[in-house]
Amino acid sequence: MTDAASRPAPPAPVSAVQALALEQGAPPPLEEVRHGVWSLAFPFGDGDYSLGYLIEGSDGALTLIDPGWDDDANLDRLDAALADVGHAMEDISLVAVTHLHADHLGGADRVRRASGARLALHAAEQRALDRRAAEALEADADIARWGAPADDEEALVAAWGSGRRLPHVTADLLLADGDEPPIAGRRLRAVHTPGHTAGHLCFVEPEQRLIVTGDHVLPRINPGIGLGGRTDANPLTDLLASLERVIALDVAGADALEVCPGHEYRFVGLAERARALVDHRADRTADAAAALDALAAEAQRPTVWQVAERMSWTGGIASLHGYRLGSALAQTEWHVQALGRAGELRPSS
């Protein structure tokens, strides 16, 4: 769900065990981040993992941010982690998720059933979950418009359109920007950061100088955009505004926020990393502009595919298939729209 790594040097890890785990391709062990705040890894796929966070309230109740991929092994991992910190499943009173992707939200319903916790997410994320079936058909129409080679279309529909099978879940508590989920003795604030998905949330704990960033800001990976359902807004425009929002939250020096991301490792330097992500997007927009210029010089009214073909992709556009190709073509169109040049594209027939 991410693009290739960016050029500027990534921020240094704060957590040595997480950095080592990344190097060795193994999930890092449970780690205490602050008093009453722990990070834990939830494996998924082929050696990948996401990072979740347990936060203890002054009443002993726990909040779990991002329960990870949905499987038995991850519930066992959570059980073991809880025992390690002197807690049990019933102590989890709230499961909060940064966004709807299966490696973050996936296990939410399983943990909710096991613990009796309430599930909280952003209202836009719930809307996206509720609209998934209808949107899949609209995504099929996008695929037809993009003009990808016929060989790719079937795989695109399977992975990006109506062929996608996505789980549904209903939250108990809908969060909006600025809301503080109920945690005794702590002020954890939800910050709406649309872009990666429309209802993506970060959670900031100003007193502890912590921010849980989900997939909005990661230390080395450039998160993809618009991967959480259709919106009226351009996800690229949303992302750039959301990056500015977290840049404004960071303070340089001793009061700098420590970033608790959804993957990789914790780091300090949120503003700098967010600026690198802004720059990465500016590069992609410039790439799209150059492709449009070249095609205009050939007096062509291109399809989205033809623009994407001339942009640079890690491994080249021909190496992308299914979901990754769908994401690349959608991103191409958003970059073209952000340039105000959508009118240069060939209209759908």
First to last CA, the chain: 30
Is the Cβ of residue 102 or residue 256 nearer to Zn ion in the bound state? 102
Cα separation of 98 and 120, whole Å?
9
Is the Cβ of residue 181 or residue 226 nearer to Zn ion in the bound state? 226
Q: In angstroms, give the least distance from the CB of 47 to Zn ion.
A: 17
Is the Cβ of residue 102 or residue 174 nearer to Zn ion in the bound state? 102
**Phi-psi group of 289: left, alpha or beta (phi > 0 → left; psi -120 to 50 → alpha; rest → beta):** alpha
Is the Cβ of residue 1 or residue 243 nearer to Zn ion in the bound state? 1
Q: Which two tokens stand for residue 255?
A: 């009061």
Q: In angstroms, give the least distance from the CB of 251 to Zn ion.
A: 27
Cα separation of 270 and 186, whole Å?
22
Cα separation of 144 and 147, whole Å?
6
Q: In angstroms, give the least distance from the CB of 200 to Zn ion.
A: 8
- Could you tell me the sign of the dihedral formed by the alpha carbons of 127, 206, 74, 72, in that order? negative
Is the Cβ of residue 82 or residue 100 nearer to Zn ion in the bound state? 100
Q: In angstroms, give the least distance from the CB of 101 to Zn ion.
A: 4
**Phi-psi group of 85: left, alpha or beta (phi > 0 → left; psi -120 to 50 → alpha; rest → beta):** alpha
Cα separation of 17 and 61, whole Å?
27
Cα separation of 60 and 194, whole Å?
32
State the chain's maximal CA–CA distance in angstroms. 69
Q: In angstroms, give the least distance from the CB of 215 to Zn ion.
A: 4
Q: In angstroms, give the least distance from the CB of 126 to Zn ion.
A: 16
Is the Cβ of residue 28 or residue 228 nearer to Zn ion in the bound state? 228
Q: In angstroms, give the least distance from the CB of 72 to Zn ion.
A: 22
Is the Cβ of residue 215 or residue 287 nearer to Zn ion in the bound state? 215
Is the Cβ of residue 77 or residue 99 nearer to Zn ion in the bound state? 99
Cβ neighbours of residue 77 under 8 Å, at least 6 residues apart?
40, 41, 42, 43
Phi, psi of 201 (to 5 degrees): -120, 140
Chain positions contacting Zn ion, by CB under 5 A: 1, 101, 215
Is the Cβ of residue 203 or residue 305 nearer to Zn ion in the bound state? 203
Q: In angstroms, give the least distance from the CB of 296 to Zn ion.
A: 35
Q: In angstroms, give the least distance from the CB of 280 to Zn ion.
A: 17
Cβ neighbours of residue 251 under 8 Å, at least 6 residues apart?
257
